[in-house]
Amino acid sequence: MRDLTLLAVLPLLMFFAFKRPFIGIGLWLWTSAFQINALVYSFASSITYNRFFAIITMLAYFASKNKPKFKWDKISILILIFFIWTTLSSLLSDADADTVWERWNFFMKIILFYFFSIAILERKLHVDFIIWILVLSIGALAASEGLKFIASGGSHRFGYLIGITGDNNFFAVMILTLLPLSFYLVTQTTHKFIKQGLVWVVILMVLGLISTYSRSGFVGLAVLGIFFIKSSKRKVLWITIFAIVISLSAEILPEEWFSRMNTVESAEGDSSFMHRVMVWKMCVLIALNNPYFGGGFKAVENLPIWQKYVGDFYILDFIPTPDADFNESVRASHSIYFQVLSDQGFVGLGLFLLIIASAYIKIGQIEQRAKTNGMEDWVFNLLTMLRLSITVYCISGGTVAIAYFDFFYAVLAIIFVLDNRIVSEKIIQPRR
Q: How far apart are CA 124 and CA 379, in angstroms?
A: 9
CB-CB contact of 330 with 95 (8 Å)? no
- CA torsion sign for 218, 220, 223, 224 is negative
> Angle, to 10 degrees, between the axis of helix 377-396 and the axis of helix 215-231?
150
Same domain assignment for residues 138 and 251: yes
> Does the pLDDT value for residue 162 go beyond 70?
no
Using one digit for the tens of pLDDT, what is the confidence trace for 138-155?
888 888 888 888 888 777
Q: Which residues are CB-contacts of 386 (< 8 A; sequence separation ≥ 6)? A: 180, 181, 363, 411, 414, 415
Same domain assignment for residues 220 and 244: yes
Residue 250 or 168, more confident: 168
Same domain assignment for residues 98 and 135: no
- pLDDT > 70 in the chain, percent: 82
Most confident of 82-86, 189-193, 228-232: 82-86
Note the pLDDT of residue 228. 75
Same domain assignment for residues 228 and 161: yes
Note the pLDDT of residue 59. 95
At 212, give phi and psi (nearest 5°). -75, -15
Same domain assignment for residues 362 and 281: yes
Q: Which of residues 67, 84, 106 is at a domain's end?
A: 67
> Does the pLDDT value for residue 398 go beyond 50?
yes
- What does the longest C-alpha to C-alpha distance in the chain come to? 65
> Does the pLDDT value for residue 6 go beyond 70?
yes
| pLDDT tier, 254 (very low <50, low <70, confident <90, very high otherwise) | low
Residue 38 or 415, more confident: 415
Note the pLDDT of residue 261. 60
Mark residue 166 as left, alpha or beta (left: phi above 0; alpha: psi -120 to 50; beta: remaining): left
Q: Which of residues 265, 293, 325 is at a domain's end?
A: 265
Same domain assignment for residues 294 and 357: yes
Same domain assignment for residues 19 and 32: yes
Note the pLDDT of residue 102. 92
Among the listed ranges 105-109, 161-165, 344-348, which one has the minimum average pLDDT value?
Answer: 161-165
Q: What does pLDDT average to over the chain?
A: 84
> Does the pLDDT value for residue 329 go beyond 70?
no
CB-CB contact of 375 with 429 (8 Å)? yes
Same domain assignment for residues 411 and 287: yes
Cα dihedral 413, 419, 425, 431, rounded to 10, equals 100
Domain count of the fold of the chain: 3
Per-position DSSP letters for 335-384, written without gaps between them: SHHHHHHHHHHHHHHHHHHHHHHHHHHHHHHHHHHHHHHT--HHHHHHHH
Note the pLDDT of residue 246. 65
Same domain assignment for residues 304 and 389: yes
> Does the pLDDT value for residue 25 go beyond 50?
yes
- CA torsion sign for 139, 141, 143, 149 is negative
Helix (H, G, I), strand (E, B) or coil at 291: coil
Residue of 409, 422, 415 whose CA lies nearest to 134: 409
Q: Which of residues 265, 290, 307 is at a domain's end?
A: 265
Q: How far apart are CA 319 and CA 333, in angstroms?
A: 17
Residue of 27, 26, 20, 22 whose CA lies nearest to 6: 27
Range of the domain at 4: 1-67
Q: What is the 8-class DSSP label of residue 378?
A: H
How many other β-carbons are positioned within 10 Å of the β-carbon of residue 130? 24
> Does the pLDDT value for residue 87 go beyond 80?
yes
Same domain assignment for residues 211 and 320: no
Mean pLDDT of 7-18: 86
Same domain assignment for residues 168 and 198: yes
Cα dihedral 335, 339, 342, 346, rounded to 10, equals -90
Residue 294 or 166, more confident: 294
pTM of the entire structure? Answer: 0.89
Residue 185 or 211, more confident: 185
> Does the pLDDT value for residue 297 go beyond 50?
yes
Q: How far apart are CA 207 and CA 252, in angstroms?
A: 12
> Does the pLDDT value for residue 322 go beyond 60?
no
Whole-number Cα distances in Å, 391 to 178, 227, 360, 384:
12, 11, 9, 11
Same domain assignment for residues 221 and 286: no
